[in-house]
Homo-oligomer: A and B are copies of this chain.
Amino acid sequence: MPEHNSTRHDRDGVARAALLLLDEVGLADLSMRRIAGALDVQPSALYWHFASKQELLAELADRITATMPRADADVLTTARGIRDALFTYRDGAELVLSTSALRLGSSPAQTALESALRRHGADDPENRAAALLHFVLGHATLVQQRMHADSHGATIGDGVHDITAGLDRVFDLGVTALAGTPVADDEVSELPTPRRDRA
């Protein structure tokens, strides 16, 4: 059921319609002509609001990653927040990955990871944050593609549960390992990390 707006549109409206359509049809079928159709408008009309499809996709990627988690969360929670933001829209991870080639060091996601790592007392927080982001993007892209493939592919038994659970374990293991062991407790002047003496 199309939108049928008799009003004219602005940049925000176009982006919102495109995001809705992305969730319906997926990235491969998200054409300028389809977006125009959803807005009851000629394809050429979109080029008043965006210079190119690439620019429109970049806007969508920015909107997807704009939903960033609490600023005071720990590393695992922050990483999960990023992953879940990518999961909010169909093919969100692939879209962000395709788009985030530029501006590698400045994304809000990487910033959030970096400060969480600093609170955690990890060494080399900049590079660790980058590695963590690369892992999350790769992982989320693969998981999302697999979900899509399973949904209309040959489903053998009910292995879906096991697969999803297994992938969640892979995610937690990856994030935990990449967060790193905090540096020696007595070296951290400002934020004394809890010592593990409960064994």
Residues of A within 8 A of B (CB): 94, 97-98, 100-102, 104, 124, 127-128, 130-131, 134-139, 141-142, 145-146, 148-149, 153, 166-167, 169-171, 173-174, 177-178, 180, 196-197, 199
**How far does the Cβ of A124 sit from chain B's closest Cβ, in whole Å?**
7
Q: Are A97 and B141 in contact (CB under 8 A)?
A: yes
Q: Are B138 and A170 in contact (CB under 8 A)?
A: no
In the complex, A31 Cα to B178 Cα: how many Å? 39
A102-B149, A149-B102, A199-B196 given as contacts; is B131 within 8 A of A177 (CB)?
A: yes
**B-chain residues with CB within 8 Å of residue A174 when the two chains form the complex:** 131, 134-135, 178
Can you pick out 11 interface pairs between chain A and chain B where the beta carbons lie within 8 Å of each other? A101-B148, A127-B166, A130-B170, A134-B139, A135-B135, A135-B138, A136-B138, A138-B139, A178-B178, A196-B199, A199-B199
Q: Are A146 and B178 in contact (CB under 8 A)?
A: no
**B-chain residues with CB within 8 Å of residue A97 when the two chains form the complex:** 97, 138, 141-142
Q: Are A142 and B146 in contact (CB under 8 A)?
A: no
**B-chain residues with CB within 8 Å of residue A171 when the two chains form the complex:** 131
In the complex, A153 Cα to B102 Cα: how many Å? 10
